Chains A and B, each alone.
Chain A
Amino acid sequence: MSRFDDDGNDVEATEDLLSDEAIEAFLTGRPDPAWEQHAGLVAADREVAAAVGGPAPAMGPQLARLLAGSGEPARRLTVVPGTPTGPAVVVRRPAQDRSSGRHRRAVAMVVGGLAAAASALPVAAAAQVLPGPVHGAVVRVLETVTPFDFPERPVSVPGPAPVAPPAGRGDGPAAGSGPGTADGLPSARPPAPVAPPAFDTAPVPGRRSVPSAAVPASIPSPATPAGPRPAGGAGAPAAPADRGAGPHAGAPARDGPATASPAPAAGPPATAGQPPTPPAAGAGARPAAAPAPAPVPTAFVSTAPARPTSGAGVARSAPVT
């Protein structure tokens, strides 16, 4: 290898002129006669110092914006390293990223909870699992805004529990088509309505009734012995004796149409061997001009045939021992 470069300079001799310490002093800009005696190095030091001096370059708009609104720089910026095809990119993240994320999640949870509650309310109302006042309010609202009828909450009656099965749909004149009277004849009296109906039985045009699964088919009571229930259609079961003859006797179901003529019990006669069952009143079967029924003791259970008095108390078929 030649000790001369392309220009004919003695490379080895030139490099040997400077010790490591002199080179270090030159590179760090520290004054040292070891390198300052070389005019070339002095000129290089001067030119380099001149080249890197001067004012700072104008601050870019992005950096200026960051400095103007700097708060927590490390959290507000994300630097995407440069690639061979593009420069490094600084992505500014909003300072409220985390808090806004939490806020959005909280709002989403609240909205979801409200939606779930709103969708569960009709179901709960139909199942009658809501507390009384809430149930009433919900049913009113739902009946207002939907074409459905919702069952009212069953009224708990003190004393002997009524054997009031669902009065069924308000069938009007067709109601009371259950079994006949104890003597097997169609009852001439108007069917005794069952006081407070379990359903809103009044047919409202354009509305569909929502059956309640929570309404019991039969409620055993001291006055109602266990056994096969009398067959009958809608409204066929016997009405409670303590309510059928009261002042409410003959009252139609809520919103039921009042009819002047009582609907005869068109059902078949009671099965032999079974106690006769007086006809039950369908909703809306109240005779408008019916005379006031005689009050019947509430604890009294009669096995006698039903009195022909319209709106008389319902004869309980259970034998009294």
Chain B
Amino acid sequence: MKPARRRTPRIGEPFAAALAAAQGGDGRSFEQLYRALAPAVAGYLRLQGASDPDDLTNEVFLNVFTSIRTFTGDEERFSSWVFTIAHRRLTDDRRRRGRRPLTADGRIVEDAAPPTGDAEEEALRQLATDEVRTLADALAPDQRDVILLRMVGGLTVDEVAAALGKSPTAVKALQRRAVGALRRRFEAEEVSR
């Protein structure tokens, strides 16, 4: 079987040492973990339509910071743990947004990705973000949650089932339909271009 190509960046070998140091209160080691995972978390929140992805990302890592002593596991499990926290904070954000007044057109203005200094790269990322968000918006909310947690967060079926409070069988059914819908949408987009 071919090795998995994770979409989220990985620390790799130094992860265990960085995690141990962060659990001991080393700020620099925690910042190393933050630098590795925060872009993916922010991207996940952005694709999910969070109102303020960067602020929410900081909130997620504040939670991670306070609970990191309780975590045990390898890097993949750590990533899944962080994305589970991110999804819970996203759920809180959605509840808050449900109580906020909307703009005149019924939408909430959302922040773009943070600037990188490279205008072309920023433009391409913004296009990709808009593309994926548009396609994700076409999915049912449950399907979108499953697809993004699996593709961006790298969670397993069981982890997604636990995070969403569903059975693994239900998650598999949701991901199958979601993948089919994505394929059709992207093929249609490719043809239209």
Contacts and interface: CB of A to CB of B under 8 A. Distances in A.
B63 A79 contact: yes
Contacts of B81: none
Contacts of A79: 62-63, 66-67
A51 B125 contact: yes
Given A28-B4, A30-B2, A73 B54 contact: no
Contacts of B110: none
Given A29-B7, A48-B7, A79-B66, A67 B183 contact: no
B43 A54 contact: yes
A63 B189 CA distance: 41
Contacts, number: 213
A82 B38 CA distance: 20
Q: Kindly list the 8 A-B residue pairs having the minimum CB-CB distance in the complex, ordered from nearest.
A: A52-B43, A40-B186, A40-B187, A60-B58, A50-B128, A82-B92, A67-B27, A56-B38
Given A27-B175, A48-B132, A54 B125 contact: yes
Interface stretch (B11-19, B101-109, B145-153): B145-153
A49 B6 CA distance: 9
B62 A44 contact: no
A62 interface: yes
29 contacts: A18-B183, A20-B176, A29-B7, A29-B151, A40-B182, A41-B182, A43-B186, A44-B183, A45-B151, A48-B128, A51-B46, A51-B47, A51-B131, A53-B39, A54-B43, A57-B114, A59-B58, A60-B58, A63-B62, A66-B65, A70-B65, A71-B25, A73-B65, A77-B62, A79-B67, A82-B96, A84-B92, A84-B99, A87-B96
B185 interface: yes
Interface stretch (A9-17, A198-206, A254-262): A9-17
B3 A43 contact: no
Nearest to A5: B184
B79 interface: no
A146 B43 CA distance: 78
Given A41-B186, A50-B128, A52-B40, A58 B66 contact: no
B166 to A, nearest CB: 16
Q: Which of A18, A60, A68, A88 has the most CB of B within 10 A?
A: A88
A101 interface: no
Contacts of B34: 56, 59, 63
Contact of B6 (A29, A38, A56): A29
Given A15-B177, A38-B187, A48-B151, 7 more contacts: A23-B179, A40-B189, A51-B125, A67-B31, A79-B62, A84-B92, A90-B62
Interface in B98-122: 98-99, 113-114, 116, 121
Nearest to A41: B183
